[in-house]
Chain A
């Protein structure tokens, strides 16, 4: 295997490159992209990835609807997004080319599997002429590589039938790109050997295709040179490449460890959240119980039942499931039991865009229950941040005896980034603080537990799972008498309880970090406020604007209910506040309502994350507007006319 490491000298060093693997949903593009990412991570590049696949498992072959793509951005420096536009497009068929041409900037490289560009596939993709032959791609550097035929040829020697061999062509593409960007094959070879150990024929076909691709790059003299992207200067430490969903799962396991609470996941499969169930179901030796329920309602119900019994109850879902869970989450608000609801947002409403990302559920999380039913909301900004946010969700749920909604989305769920592993010994403990003794004495001197006798500081009620003699008590969804918890219908008590529940959640603001503002020279007039997965695009956009010589500030929210205590002051200290969101302006509504600040909403709902360039241009627009306003004010306009004091 050693002849495939790097026996050629790369002639060009790049600081970064964005590669997009695109093909049919059955072509194995996600796998090729994933393996390329792993090799790059092991080489020490910084990276970010964006899988982009259709909702259908196998849409009709060769059609635009069936195109599945995986974009990976690798670099020798710290990067924040999977890249706006690909530098290189690997197109396994005409549909993959057509679907991705709109995002391909002039000068980009196209590596096309020329074998797939026959009349039938061209027709299916809607090409009247072969774009490889009609000169329409003259703005690009196009390499035509017969991937299918070489793959079937090299596999034939191993006795693999052509139809089976063809399925290994993704490994040919991976081998070729690995050569082009000087990635070693060894990690992929090892992976293939382990993954296909029980199927020697497939293993052999994949290995042969991989090496054939690599050797093709070296010997075909098609490519002028190969390229190198050197390691990024990452902080010292041990790293893994992690998806958001894996990080959520690991964060929950970590939370179970630091709290001593056994983890129970009640859930129902739904894209793009199911991978959390898959990951947690593997780790029974951490005492993790995973329950695949009959529906979304049962998933959250079982999680709440487990919480009543003293476990760490968690449910995971996406938008349609959050709709169905609303009633049970409301019950959890009323019961005041810890419960973590993980919502991996996707395009809505209804079934919407199951495999595409969106930030459409913020107001649903905030208000999607009948009655006054507030609860804490936290959101993850990057794939690895999902680990921290899972721990934070559990901390708040346990400490305040409340359901907490954790918002992630399809982009974070499947995207990856290198993550410097935390020191697990130093993760803060979470104290379940179970009730151990009665807290109320009856007139006759006997003692009992009043389940709604609150802690004065946190307003949290005692958590008293069954099993302790003397603490027997009944709770339910009917309104309860303040203190004793007995059923109570009187209006004054209901108002008191409603206000207490609201005050408990609002009070959490004193227990969360101040929002940090990235304002390099403290002279910016424009503040960009984001939440969740827009972090990378906003931070990259801000960098670009600064590189153009402008000042701009960035604040990113993890806690969305309650907000950090200093948020109002931060918002009011800038001339204008720009709020980019992948929805129609949900955070901006909350900020306006809460702080009476006239924030500017900047939105997009195309099932994909913001591009850094879009953020850059929105910020520049805002910076220009502020500059103009200042100029006008400086030119002596009366303050009353300009409206700017």
Chain B
């Protein structure tokens, strides 16, 4: 699959075409495998070119992802992938830039870059593998670990309150915010597709199981037998309902709060209708905090999808407009732009 492809035509590809020749070295049973598979299966469906696709990462288990993709790839340094991606996306609007990161990489050491990439609405798709633990450094607590968590570095329990990644992203002015989990390939593929199609910064939190250092962190809500009662699928334009028979739902109370109800106890028209495109992120924020952790009914899907000017396109627009107004830059004139004088 290394023939120079014809420019112009997008040839039909398969998962194999997007798979590099490198041996995948995650621990057996790691949730990362299913995420990799979902991405490799989705890409042939997107009608995009391998040569115009870049996977970029920082440091951590998730950050090995680019090596396994037969695309252009860059495995960078801890926490900085959003910054590096910013320079790439701002200069190469023709590329699909995917940033693969983890909860330590993007919420701890790289927190600053993450929030600013979201705020600027850089045209990148961020996949945050959240396993609530440090894996590559062998089992310390992370910024998403729960309070009192006992780990190698917190033998008496963690004292820190965790970040809620979606609340953080919404607070950072993100224009696309979604959540999915590693046990549902179809849901992942659908969520990644939406994230890819969004122009600007897309943020996807993926509940990902680390079977070595934090096994079963999400099992109470993502396990096959629990999902029906514990995952709340968000569907744009539909009342928010969940449960095997759709018997539970979400309502907006008079005081502005949202809460879970039994549909039988309320008028169906009282159920909150999900609106991804709502300009005000307030309701999306409330939904992002509906559950206090992966042990209560938790919404998944697209929380927010709004249109805003995309940074790289705006940068290009300023260049075009200035060039149209002033004419293309002339080096000779530039050097004379102060007061020049001639000595003869």
> A residues near B, CB below 8 A?
38, 41-42, 44, 187, 231, 234-242, 246, 250, 253-254, 257, 262, 264, 266, 283-289, 291, 293-295, 297-298, 301-311, 313, 327-328, 331, 335, 420-422, 424, 437-438, 442, 446-448, 465-478, 486-487
Given pairs A236-B343, A305-B85, A307-B87, 10 additional interface contacts (CB within 8 A)? A250-B335, A253-B329, A286-B328, A302-B83, A302-B90, A305-B91, A446-B3, A465-B92, A467-B92, A487-B67
Contacts of B335 in A (CB 8 A): 240, 250, 421-422, 424
Residue B46 interfacial (CB < 8 Å): no
CB distance from B32 to the nearest CB of A (A): 16
Chain A positions within 8 Å of B334 at CB level: 250, 253, 283, 286
Asked if residues A466 and B91 are in contact (CB atoms below 8 Å), the reply is no
The answer on a CB contact under 8 Å between A303 and B327 is no
CB–CB B87/A303 < 8 A = yes
Which residues of the other chain, B, contact A327 by a CB distance below 8 angstroms? 77, 80
In this complex, what residue of B is CB-closest to A307?
A: B87
Q: Which of B271-292 contact A (CB under 8 A)?
A: none
Question: Chain B, 327-344, contact with A by CB distance < 8 Å: what is the 0/1 string?
Answer: 111011011101111111
Between A239, A304, A309, A328, the greatest number of chain B beta carbons within 10 A of the residue's beta carbon is seen for A309
Specify which of A42, A187, A471 is in contact with B51 (CB 8 Å cutoff).
A471
What number of residue pairs across chains A and B have CB atoms under 8 A from each other? 222
A238 / chain B contacts, CB cutoff of 8 Å: 336, 340-343
Contacts of B90 in A (CB 8 A): 264, 289, 291, 302, 306
Q: Write out the residue numbers on chain B whose beta carbons fall within 8 Å of the beta carbon of A235.
A: 343
Q: With an 8 A cutoff between CB atoms, is B159 at the interface?
A: no
Shortest Cβ distance from residue A148 to the other chain B in the assembled complex, whole angstroms: 30
Closest 10 A-B residue pairs measured CB to CB? A476-B75, A305-B87, A302-B87, A301-B83, A286-B329, A474-B73, A298-B83, A305-B84, A306-B87, A469-B5
Q: Looking at the complex, which of B138-146, B150-158, B184-192, B314-322 is the stretch in contact with chain A? A: B314-322
CB distance from B318 to the nearest CB of A (A): 5
Q: Is the CB of B74 within 8 A of A476?
A: yes
A305-B83 contact, Cβ under 8 Å, with A474-B66, A476-B67, A487-B67: yes
Q: CA A288 – CA B91 in complex, angstroms?
A: 10
| B4/A309 in contact, CB under 8 A | no
**Chain B residue contacts of A241, Cβ below 8 A:** 338-339
Chain A hits for B167, CB < 8 A: none
- Closest Cβ neighbor of B3 among chain A residues: A470
Contact status B341-A297, CB under 8 Å:
no
Decide: A239 near B343, CB < 8 A? Known: A424-B332, A424-B335, A447-B2. yes
- CB pair A477–B77 under 8 Å, yes or no, is yes
Residue of A nearest to B316 (CB): A289
**9 A–B pairs (Cβ distance < 8 Å), ordered by A:** A284-B323, A285-B329, A289-B90, A305-B88, A466-B53, A466-B92, A469-B4, A469-B51, A475-B75
**Interface residue? B326 (CB, 8 A):** yes
- Which residues of A sit under 8 angstroms from B336, Cβ to Cβ? 238, 240, 421
Closest residue of A by beta carbon distance from B69: A474
Minimum CB–CB distance for B326 against chain A, Å: 5
- Chain A residues contacting B53 (CB-CB under 8 Å) are 466
Q: Which of B20, B71, B86 contacts A298 (CB 8 A)?
A: B86
Write out the residue numbers on chain A whose beta carbons fall within 8 Å of the beta carbon of B116.
Answer: 293-294, 298
- Is B75 within 8 A of A474, CB to CB? yes
Shortest Cβ distance from B321 into A: residue? A284
Measured CA separation A306–B85 after assembly (Å): 8
Q: Which residue of chain A lies nearest to B112 when distances are taken between CB atoms in the complex?
A: A294
Contact of B83 among A237, A297, A420, A468 (CB under 8 A): A297
B181 close to chain A: CB less than 8 A: no
Question: Contacts A284-B322, A298-B80, A302-B87: A309 and B113 contacting too (C-beta < 8 A)?
Answer: no
Complex CA distance for A169 and B335, rounded to whole angstroms: 32
Question: Do B328 and A285 touch (CB < 8 A)?
Answer: yes
The residue that A289 contacts in the complex, of B50, B54, B319, with Cβ under 8 A, is B319
CB B228 to nearest CB in A, in angstroms, measures 40
Contacts of A442 in B (CB 8 A): 2
> Which residues of B are found within 8 Å of A231, using beta-carbon distances?
343
- Whether B87 pairs with A301 at a CB distance below 8 angstroms is yes
The interface residues of chain B, by DSSP majority, are classed as mixed
**What's the Cα separation between A301 and B344 when bound, in Å?**
47
Q: How many angstroms between the C-alpha atoms of A303 and B76 in the bound complex? A: 13
Q: Are B341 and A470 in contact (CB under 8 A)?
A: no
A470 to B49 alpha-carbon distance, docked (Å): 11
B83 / chain A contacts, CB cutoff of 8 Å: 293-294, 297-298, 301-302, 305
CB distance from B147 to the nearest CB of A (A): 29
B306 surroundings in chain A (CB, below 8 A): none
Q: In the complex, what's the smallest C-beta–C-beta distance from A354 to chain B, in angstroms?
A: 22
The answer, among B20, B74, B319, for a CB contact under 8 Å with A308, is B74
Give the nearest-CB partner of A437 in chain B: B4
Q: Using Cβ atoms and an 8 Å threshold, which residues of chain B touch A304? A: 84, 87
CB <8 Å contact, B72 and A474: yes
Q: B94 at the A/B interface (Cβ < 8 Å)?
A: yes
Q: Give Cα distance in the complex from A239 to B338, angstroms.
A: 10
Smallest beta-carbon distance A497→chain B, Å = 16
B91 A41 Cβ-Cβ under 8 A? no
Complex Cα distance, B87 from A79, in Å, reads 43
CA–CA, A451 and B72, complex, Å: 11
Asked whether any CB of chain A lies closer than 8 Å to the CB of B12, the reply is no
Can you name the residue of chain A whose Cβ is closest to the Cβ of B319?
A284
Q: Does B164 contact A (CB under 8 A)?
A: no
Bound state CA distance, A480 and B84, in angstroms?
20
- How far does the Cβ of B134 sit from chain A's closest Cβ, in whole Å? 18
In the docked arrangement, what's the CA distance between A616 and B62, Å?
61
CA A291 to CA B326, docked complex, whole Å:
21
Known pairs A301-B84, A447-B2; A262 contacts B91 (CB<8 A): yes
Residues of chain B within 8 A (CB-CB) of A328 are 77, 80
Q: Residues of B contacting A266 with CB < 8 Å?
A: 86-87
Closest-by-CB residue of B relative to A387 is: B335
Closest A residue to B327 by beta carbon equals A285
Measured CB to CB, the nearest residue on chain B to A478 is B75
How far does the alpha carbon of A185 sit from the alpha carbon of B341 in the complex, in Å?
16
Q: Which residues on B sit within 8 Å (CB–CB) of A242?
A: 338
Nearest-neighbour CB distance to chain A for B312, whole angstroms, equals 9
* Residue B14 lies at the interface, judged by CB distance under 8 Å to chain A: no
CB atoms of B329 and A287 under 8 A apart: yes
- Is A240 within 8 A of B340, CB to CB? yes
Query: In the assembled complex, how far is the CB of residue B69 from the closest CB belonging to chain A, in whole angstroms?
Result: 8
Pairwise interchain contact A298-B112, C-beta atoms closer than 8 A: yes
- B332 vs chain A, min Cβ distance (A): 5
Residues 195-237 of chain B, each 1 if its beta carbon lies under 8 Å from chain A, else 0:
0000000000000000000000000000000000000000000
Contact with A along B1-44 (1 / 0, CB 8 A): 11111010000000000001010000000000000000000000
Smallest beta-carbon distance A396→chain B, Å: 20
Q: How far is the CB of A373 from chain B (nearest CB, A)?
A: 13
Question: What residues on B are CB-neighbors of A253 within 8 Å?
Answer: 329, 331, 334
Asked if B340 contacts A472 (CB within 8 A), the reply is no
* Any A CB within 8 A of the CB of B95: yes
Are A308 and B113 neighbours in the complex by a CB distance under 8 Å?
no
Q: Give the distance in Å from the alpha carbon of A309 to the alpha carbon of B2 in the complex.
A: 20
Least CB distance, A483 to chain B, in whole angstroms: 15
A240 CA to B319 CA, complexed, in Å = 27
Residues in A whose Cβ lies below 8 Å from that of B52? 466-467
Complex: how many Å from CA A237 to CA B341? 8
- C-alpha gap A236/B325 in the complex (Å): 34
**Whole-angstrom distance between the alpha carbons of A286 and B88 in the complex?**
19
Report whether A291 and B86 are in contact in the complex, using a CB–CB cutoff of 8 Å. yes
Contact yes or no, A298 B113, CB < 8 A: yes
Contact: B2 with A438, CB < 8 Å?
Answer: yes
The reply to whether the CB of B70 lies closer than 8 angstroms to some CB of chain A is: yes
Please tell me if the beta carbons of B73 and A473 are within 8 angstroms of each other in the complex: yes
A629 CA / B219 CA spacing, docked (Å): 85
CB neighbours of A246 from chain B (8 A): 338
Question: Contact check: which of A287, A302, A307, A335 meets B86 at CB < 8 Å?
Answer: A302
What separation, in Å, do the CA atoms of A303 and B90 have in the docked complex? 10
Task: Give the residues in chain B near A420, CB-CB below 8 Å.
Answer: 343
Instruction: Provide the residues of chain A in CB contact with B325, threshold 8 Å.
Output: 285
